[in-house]
Chains A and B, each alone.
Chain A
Amino acid sequence: MSEEKKTTRKQIAAAKTLKKVMADHFYEMDNAVKTGSRKIAWCTSVGPAELLRGMGFLVYYPENHGAMLGATRMSTELIPFTNAIGYSPDICSYLTCDVGSYLQKKTPLTMAYNIESVPRPDVLVFNTNQCRDVQDWFAWYSRELDVPLVGVHTHRDIGDIREYQIKDIASQIEDLVPKLEEVTGEKFDMDRFKEAVGYSRRTSELWRACLEEAAAVPSPWTFFDATIHMAPAVVGRGTKEANDYYELLLPELKQRVKDGTAAVEGEKHRLYWEGMPVWGKLRPLSEQFYSLKACVVASTYCNSWIFDQLDPAEPFESMAVAYTELFIVRDEPYKEQYITDCYNKFKFDGIVFHDAKTCPNNSNNRYGMPERLSEKLGVPVLTINGDLCDLRCYSEEQAKTNIEAFIEQLEEG
């Protein structure tokens, strides 16, 4: 009988520092709330973080909290409490598990950092860049906590980017300034803002470089590693700490490439992951791919935190460009070309689409893209059904069988 092999992978040494960076991030906010020393802004993943940092806010990301709830598998228990107050099980499970966490007064921060609750916001700042759910999510907290809600409304399904779109987004971001000044009670400082944009740009460049190391054969790390190591790029956007982290990680990855250290021993297959991670199943999925000698080398998801269009010389405009060029707001032809470019860079031999039940926005399998890409690139595709946080929507057995059969198919050649 074949058993999945236990993993004996060479760990990424930077992971230790990563733990500290993340702990500091949460302790700093917890402390700020207790002492009232700094204002806290809640921000969506592609919200105007650089502006918030530039205005002196500490920035908290509920989506990151959602991912933590998912990874600790607390989410599936908490989602029903939000369903019960009228939020459908079909909408974003980040939203439903996060609100459930608030309602039940349970957070993974307690277990991880001995922090009782997430930091109370002074302002809620969204960007509908990825979906409308983020706005509805923050609106719930705005009503519940009586905190101001401001945001940016992004254009969607964009083909060629037009000047009016950039101008619009740039001015929407600029319009936030007086509203945010009201919260901080301080005047906006352009230099500080530019500095944050500069940090964010540098973080993006480094993060891109880290991800591109996976183009090496064998790849020094996997998509599953990257979903963990991306945390500073997500929560530290616009800070020196995030830069420093990737200054540390990048040389380590380069060294692994030089030494021929494979993330997946005996790498035989290279795959692309399209869609959200299944947060509560990262480990079993990573182990299954490992045992099948398949390395998931790249993903749209991890690439989504590359904003290297940012330019401190033109902070508002370049933020608008960075947020508008992003994969998730683009049309189908753009997305297909994007994955094609990744194919050329990473040389993968199959694509796994994750159809996340509660996130249509990141489930790109629903309008025939797998079939079109399979035909165009001549590689097989697989769709697995699941969800980012709601494991009620995930059949582990079925996903495993599908993945195993997919690798069998690749082996048949």
Chain B
Amino acid sequence: MADKIEAVFAGVDVGASRTKVAILDAGKNLIGHAVRKSGTDFTETAEICLASSLEMAGVSKEDIANCISTGYGRKNVPYSHDTKTEIGCHAKGCYHYFPMSMTVIDIGGQDNKVIKLDEHGRRVSFKMNRKCAAGTGAFLEEMAARLDIPLEEMDGLARKSENIVELGSYCTVFSGTEVLEKIRQGKKVPDIMKGLFLSVIKRVLEMDSLTERVVMTGGVVAHNPYLVNMVREITESEVLVPEYPQLTGAVGAALFAMETKG
């Protein structure tokens, strides 16, 4: 006879760009997860993501003791029991991995967050980027399209740069023109790519001051770890990254689910 499965906790982060699900067991271990493009039907995507994370965890929907949803589409998850903001969930997720005071930098597909936590994990302040793609994943996607580069090659290209080409503008449209101008001047693609990474970092750093320790999360960081190296270099601070940076919000939501149940 199979052992009785203990209750699990689900966190669903429906971002504007990607939907992430995390399943935690009672010991707060990440036992299942999934990431998928949010698309236009958030509810359906959240269902599909949940199904594949449950499968990975080897549990079924009935084993979920509590579920919290977060992110832009947090209200579109019929199976969730409550919602929390992505700011709260990222803070929670980061503090779980690094229980100390920190500044969280989350670079998402459509927005950025800078959240400051004290040593007890309480939020001291937070900022979200304004109504603009500058410094977000959307900016990099747009630029990759201009350069005709698949997204997954950006990181490798930027690493090859020997002579960074800095971009001056923060408007996505102006940057697009600037990139074309650099190509016309014969600048190398890796150097432009690194310049684009730097542009993202600058946008984030001007949102708020940083404290001693920085934790970086989000899909852009997950797929472009070279960004983290660059932030380390620029800020000369300790920059930590959780194992699955893209799942931090979902993990935070699952932790909230566990707390509110307990």
Contacts and interface: CB of A to CB of B under 8 A. Distances in A.
Interface of A: 1-3, 374, 380-381, 383, 385, 393-395, 397-398, 401-402, 404-405, 408-409, 412-413
A404 B130 CA distance: 16
A3 B83 CA distance: 9
Interface string B72-114: 1001011011111111100000000000000000000001000
B131 interface: yes
A383 B111 CA distance: 16
Contacts of A3: 75
Given A1-B82, A395-B131, A408-B88, 20 more contacts: A1-B75, A1-B78, A2-B75, A2-B82, A380-B124, A381-B125, A385-B130, A393-B131, A394-B131, A397-B72, A398-B111, A398-B128, A401-B72, A401-B85, A401-B86, A401-B87, A404-B85, A405-B88, A412-B122, A413-B122
Contacts of A408: 84-85, 87-88, 123
- Interface of B (DSSP majority class): mixed
B135 to A, nearest CB: 15
A127 to B, nearest CB: 32
B138 to A, nearest CB: 14
A408 B77 CA distance: 20
A401 B82 contact: no
A381 B208 CA distance: 13
Contacts of A401: 72, 85-87, 128
A409 B85 CA distance: 10
A57 to B, nearest CB: 42
Nearest to A407: B85
27 contacts: A1-B69, A1-B75, A1-B77, A1-B81, A1-B83, A374-B125, A380-B124, A381-B125, A383-B127, A385-B130, A385-B131, A394-B131, A398-B111, A401-B86, A401-B87, A402-B87, A402-B128, A404-B85, A405-B86, A405-B87, A405-B88, A408-B84, A408-B85, A408-B87, A408-B123, A412-B122, A413-B122
Chain B interface size, as a band, is 20 to 34
Contacts of B78: 1
A385 B130 CA distance: 7
A398 B131 contact: yes
Contacts of A405: 85-88, 126
Contact of B83 (A2, A380, A395, A409): A2
Among all A-B residue pairs, the 5 with the closest Cβ atoms: A405-B87, A405-B85, A409-B123, A408-B88, A395-B131
A381 B116 CA distance: 13
Contacts of B80: 1
